[in-house]
Amino acid sequence: VFLWHTIINRVRSEGLIVLVVASSRITSLLIPGGRTTHYRFKIQLEVNENSISEIKHNTHLSRLLEMTSLIVWDEDGRRLNNPFGGKSVLLGGDFRQILLVISGGTKEEIINASFTSSSLWSKFTFLTLNQNMQLSADSLSPNQKEELRQFAEWIILIGDGQLCDLAVPNDHDAAFIKIPCELQVQIIDCPITTIVSAIYPDIERAHLDPFYFKERAIVTPKNLTVYEINNFILDIIRGDKYNFFSSRGVSGGAPIMLLRNLSHSAGLCNGIRFIVTQLIERIIEARIITGSNIGDRFPVRPCYVMTINKSQGQSLKIVGVFLKEQVFSHG
154 Cβ contact list (under 8 Å, min separation 6): 163, 180
Confidence category of residue 274, pLDDT binned at 50, 70, 90: confident
Lowest model confidence (mean pLDDT) among 108-122, 242-256, 263-277, 280-294? 242-256
Say whether pLDDT at 87 is over 60. yes
331 pLDDT above the threshold of 60? no
Mean pLDDT (whole number) for 256-271? 79
pLDDT tens digits, one per residue of 6-24: 888 899 999 999 999 887 7
* pTM for the predicted model, two decimal places: 0.70
- Mean pLDDT confidence for 68-88: 69
**Residue 330: how many CB atoms within 10 A of its CB?**
16
Average pLDDT, the chain: 81
Confidence of residue 141 (pLDDT cuts 50, 70, 90): very high
Residue 115 has pLDDT above 80, yes or no: no
| The pairing of beta strand 305-307 with beta strand 318-321 | unpaired
Is residue 228 scored above 70 in pLDDT?
yes
pLDDT score recorded for residue 77: 52
Report, as an integer, the average pLDDT of 172-192: 86
Over residues 274-278, the mean pLDDT reads 82
The reported pLDDT for the residue numbered 44 is: 80
For the chain, report the end-to-end CA distance as a whole number of angstroms. 28
What integer pLDDT is reported at residue 159 of this predicted model? 84
In the prediction, which pLDDT does 320 show? 94
pLDDT at position 39 over 60: yes
Residue 249 confidence (pLDDT):
58
**pLDDT on residue 86:** 67
Report CA torsion sign: 21, 25, 27, 33.
positive
Provide the pLDDT for residue 97: 76
- Which pLDDT value is given to residue 300? 57
Distance CA 218, CA 193 (A): 12
Sequence letter at residue 76: D
- Give the pairing type, strands 273-280 and 283-288: antiparallel
Range 86-123 burial, b when 16+ CB lie within 10 A, else e: eeebbeebeeeebbbebeebeeeebeebbbeebeeeee
Whole-angstrom distance, CA of residue 114 vs CA of residue 99: 8
Q: Domains for the chain: give ranges and CATH numbers.
A: 2-123 (3.40.50.300), 133-176 (no CATH), 185-321 (no CATH)
Looking at per-residue pLDDT, the higher value among 62 and 104 belongs to 62
> Whole-angstrom Cα distance, residue 206 to residue 107?
43
pLDDT (0 to 100) of residue 91:
82
User: What pLDDT does 107 receive?
Assistant: 78
Q: 235 pLDDT exceeds 90?
A: no
Residue 193 CB partners (closer than 8 Å, separation 6+): 232
- 304 CB-near residues (< 8 Å, 6+ apart): 196, 200, 213, 217, 218, 229, 230, 233, 254, 255
Most confident of 18-32, 76-90, 237-251, 289-303: 18-32
Distance CA 296, CA 270 (A): 16
**Higher per-residue confidence, 7 vs 294:** 7
Residue type, position 89, single letter? V
